[in-house]
Amino acid sequence: MTLRFLFVGLFTLLLASPAAAQSTCSDCVGGGSDIAGALFQGSANAWATPEARAQLNERATALNTLSSDATAPSIAPAVADAFAAAPNARALLMQTHALPELKADLHSEWTTRGLPAAEAEALIDALSGLTAKNRVEPEALQTSLDAYNAAVAAAAPTFVTDPAPSFLALRHALAALTQAAP
C-alpha cells in the first residue's frame, strides 16, 4: 500500500514538473508517422513557474529569430527546415493577430488533406500569436497543445500519414517549446 502511494506521488510530481511538459515525440523529424501516436502532454501549471516561463520565452525568441543560416542551440535544425518549407506556420505563431488570408490558407491546406474544419479552425485560433513578442503564456501553450491533440485525434488517416508541411512545422515548434529544460 505504501509503495502504491509512493508511485502515485512520484507520478503526480512528474506531471507537475516542467520536464513532464514535453512532447512524446522523440525527435519530431520526418513525416506523418511521427504524428500518429505522438501527442503532447503537459500542464499550464508546470510552465507557470518563473524558471519555466523564462525557458518558454527563450525558446519563443529562438523560434522567432530562427533562420536557415542561424539556428539556436536550443532549437533542433529540423525546426528551421520545417519553417523554411512552411513560412505560413511561422507567421501564424509570430503575429499577434494573424491575417485572415493566412488563416484561410492554412485552413484550406489542412482541410483538403483531411483535417476536419472545426479542428483546423480551433488549432489556427489557438496557435495564432503564440510566440508573439517573444513571450508564451502557459495557458495559451496548454490551449495550443489541447487543440493540436484534438486535431490529430479527429484527422483522417490520410492527414496523419501525409500531413501538410505547415502542420509539421507547427508540430516542430510545439515540440521545441515543450522540450525538457536542458
Segment 5-60, tens digit of pLDDT: 333 333 333 333 333 333 333 333 334 444 545 678 878 888 888 999 999 999 99
Judge contact between 42 and 20, C-beta under 8 A. Answer: yes
Query: Please, what is the end-to-end C-alpha distance for the chain in angstroms?
Result: 35
**Structural domain range at position 39:** 2-178
Amino acid code (one letter) for 132: A
Distance (Å, whole) CA 16 – CA 140: 17
For the stretch 109-129, pLDDT in tens is 999 999 999 999 999 999 999
Distance (Å, whole) CA 35 – CA 65: 26
- The domain total for the chain is 1
The pLDDT value recorded for residue 151 is: 95
Cell (9 digits) for 87? 513560412
